[in-house]
Structure 1
Amino acid sequence: MMEKLNTVFRYQINRDGLTVEELLRDDWKAGKKTVHQMRMDKAVTDTAGQPFEWRTPLEAGTELVFHFKDAVSSYKPDDHADVSVLFEDEHLLAALKPADIATHPDEHDEGGTFMNAIMAYVERSGGAYAEHINRLDKGTAGIVLVAKHPIAKALFDRMIEERAITRIYHAEVDGRLKRMRGTLQYPIGRDRHHPTRRRVSPGGQDAITRYRVIERNDESTVVEASLETGRTHQIRVHFSHIGHPVKGDTLYGGSETEDGNYRLVAKKVSFKHPFTEEQTTIEVI
């Protein structure tokens, strides 16, 4: 097995007077546990390996080197499937999850999921850390974002919570939608009569899905849907609620498909990259 990489990434300070502590705590808002552990490990050094004093103001252009010697993920590497990488840098990778596998195992010693294949891919590059940022249902295909170090995980998780990542889906739903575009704003909660199903419920969490019609067929409609919120099964629940369930989604009343998968694809994500500050768009062509 290849030696695990200790150094994960380098970063240049972008303004005079910034300290390591301010960068992590205020700019990146990394979790307290992560920041504390990095301080204890003297995990931020200069290019010669000398640790920085965390409260010393630094000049713009100063290069920091971040080390994560104990940052590992417990997913079992499993080469059961090829990994189709759409985007990758030292902080993040985005890959295409097929529609017939789960995003992650229920137990970390299990295999056969998207994250097991990702872990094998990361280990081949000498890495040891990979954690998914978003997840897709087993029957849904599309883009899954994966953090390559703990700070990226903390930042992208926060961006999901603050709705700073735009997520676009394409779905084929049963029936012919009358309106060319619309907003579905129905709260979603658990269905107490089923262990995994969700339902529109007055006491549920706010959920907003915007859509526009791309194509109308005799018995179905293809829509582009964007999520304002990220509730479990949100698109599936919302379109089922208005009488147009996703094809293949028999849990919510959709018609059956030959392969048993949903006609639902996570098509595009876009965001301002928290490290490079570049507007980044990743899309399934």
Structure 2
Amino acid sequence: MALFHYKTQEDNMTVEHLLKDKWLGGKKTVHLMRMAKSVLDAKGEPVDDWKGPLAAGTELVFTFPDATSTYVPDDNVELTVLFEDEHILAVVKPAGISTHPDGPRDTGTLMNAVMAYVQKNGGDYAEHIHRLDKGTSGVVLIAKHPISKSLFDRMIENNDISRKYIAEVDGYLKRPKGTIRLPIGRDRHHPAKRLVSMSGQSAITNFRMIERKENTTIVEADLETGRTHQIRVHLSHLGHPVTGDTLYEGSETEDGKYRLTATAVSFIHPFTEEQTLIEMK
């Protein structure tokens, strides 16, 4: 069962307002929670009056008895946990594995490893909030209950989650910093590839140079949008593809991996309302 504890932070807050307006819970989720009497008081008794005003500091427990995820648990995938509370989990995805499986019986992905971890700790629910390309390593956020999933999905859509990356790119990048505002669309000649296309979706990448090496440059990038392969496409378009990213004309590396890591995410936590920074150690 997924659940979380919460103390109301102001007078006259209602359960209905919390779920529908403050946390933007979907109609289906809220309806199912109401039918299942999923909101409990500090004594573990169901709260029946969802429109009744509550005093600040009222303790509530929100439960999701039917919230389960179907990923097959897999202990064979390395999992590094960077952050965890009742609402989210932040983990490191290694380069070379997918964020999630393509089919219900697939294993060997990050979400299979997350499911094994969650089940060991008594949970049944875990859903990724965003994804990283198979060859990209770094921080991935996981929702631990449906309301968290709904809220963080909305935050991703509204660009309320800042995501930073470190990339090593080919060549000598002359500009110390800049912003790339170029739309990205599908490459109709290559189904796995994206390209800068005026008919594509808007995409904005900010970057700054960190270090210049003999044949490559280290840059930090952050995204204002989250298009597929965005950093890889934008940097390649500048003439400085990610080192090792042969799909986008990057030079080959000895291990066959490309040099792109999602190093940090930051956001205002929707449940604690605290500024939260999660970064690679």
- Relative to the length of structure 2, the TM-score reads 0.98
The residue that corresponds to 2:36 in the other structure is: 41
Gaps of 5+ in 2: none
Residue by residue, what CA displacement relative to the aligned partner does 1:176-219 show, whole Å, maximum 9, x if unpaired?
Answer: 11100000110001111111211111011110000000011121
**2:10 paired with 1:28:** no
CA contact (8 A) 2:4 2:63 kept: yes
Relative to structure 1, the CA distance from residue 119 to residue 178 in structure 2 (aligned partners, 3 Å threshold; closer, same or farther) is: same
Contact 2:2 2:124 (8 Å CA) reproduced:
no
Q: Find the counterpart in structure 2 of residue 15 from structure 1.
A: 10
Give 1:162-201 correspondences, 5 Å limit: 162-201=158-197
- In structure 1, the partner of 2:255 is 259
How far residue 7 of structure 1 moved from its aligned partner, in angstroms, is: 5.5
Match of 2:107 in 1: 111
SS at the partner of 1:160? helix
Matches within 5 A, 1:6-155: 6=1, 8-52=3-47, 53-155=49-151
Task: Work out the CA distance in 1 between the residues paired with 2:125 and 2:239.
Answer: 42
- Name the counterpart of 1:3: none
Q: 1:279 aligns with which of 257, 263, 275?
A: 275
SS in 1 for 2:185: strand
Unaligned runs of 5+ in 1: 1-5
Secondary structure of the residue that 2:151 maps to in structure 1?
helix
* Secondary structure at the counterpart of residue 92 of structure 2: strand
Which of the residues 216, 223, 226 maps onto 2:222? Answer: 226
Show structure 1 runs of 4+ deviating over 3 A. Answer: none
- The code of the aligned residue for 1:242 comes to L
Superposition RMSD on alpha carbons, in Å?
0.9
Percent of aligned pairs with the same residue? 65
Deviation at 1:81, TM superposition (A): 2.0
Q: Is the 1:115–1:132 contact (alpha carbons within 8 Å) kept by the matching residues of 2?
A: yes
Q: Quick check: 1:158 aligned with 2:154?
A: yes
d(CA) in 1 for partners of 2:116, 2:235: 36
**Partner deviation per Cα, 1:133-190 (whole Å, 9 max, x = no partner):** 1111111000000011111111111111111111000000111111000001100011
Name the CA distance, whole Å, in 2 between partners of 1:189 and 1:71.
Answer: 35
Residue 256 of structure 1, CA deviation: 1.0
Distance 1:127 1:276 in 2: 21
Distance in 2 between residues matched to 1:150 and 1:186, nearest whole Å: 34
> Residue type of the partner of 1:268?
A
Whole-Å separation in 1 of the counterparts to 2:233 and 2:187: 11
Residue in 2 aligned with 1:247?
243
Q: 1:176 to 1:7 in 2, by over 3 A?
A: closer
Closer/same/farther in 2, CA of residues 159 and 247 from structure 1, 3 Å limit: same
How far apart are the structure 1 equivalents of 2:188 and 2:2? 47
